[in-house]
Amino acid sequence: MGEIAEFTKKILKFRDDRNWKKFHNGKDLALCLGAEAGELLEVFLWKKDTEIDKQALQDELADVMYCALLLAYTYKLNVKDIMDAKMKKNELKYPASKAKNSSKKYNKL
Ligand SMILES: [Mg+2]
């Protein structure tokens, strides 16, 4: 079993031990992901990079991934497969020959 599958299994046990499955529909998991992304942004809000609380960063990033893994599980999406597919798309959108050293969006390259 790969790491992603192991984490998903742990998350599902955590959820099922608390009988929270009834709350975990796609819409609410997507909202959860957005809310946790907001909490992640708060870690950086009004701070210089040297002032970032690394523990808070770890916690909020883990919360984001918790929601993302549950969302993927809910829609029976294989995380590795969807990441591979998206990276292939990104390779086409941002070819290194055009995107190297550039922060421009793909449609402006
Ligand atoms: Mg959080």
Give 69-82 pLDDT, tens digit per residue: 999 999 999 999 99
pLDDT by residue (tens digit) across 40-52?
999 999 999 999 9
Q: Ion ligand 1 — residues with CB under 5 Å?
A: 36, 39, 60, 63
Q: What is the arithmetic mean of pLDDT over 82-86? A: 97
Residues 103 and 61 occupy one common structural domain: no
6 and 53 part of one domain: yes
24 in the same domain as 62: yes
Same domain for 56 and 22: yes
HEC assignment per residue over the chain: CCHHHHHHHHHHHHHHHCCCHHHCCHHHHHHHHHHHHHHHHHHHCCCCHHHCCHHHHHHHHHHHHHHHHHHHHHCCCCHHHHHHHHHHHHHHHCCHHHHCCCCCCHHHC
Residues 52 and 21 in one domain: yes
Share of the chain above pLDDT 70, in %: 100
Q: Which pLDDT score, from 0 to 100, does residue 1 have?
A: 73
Do 70 and 83 fall within a single domain? no
Domain that holds residue 36: 1-77
The pTM of this model reads 0.90
CA of 88 to the centre of ligand 1 (A): 30
Going from the Cα of 36 to the center of ligand 1, the distance in angstroms, rounded, reads: 5
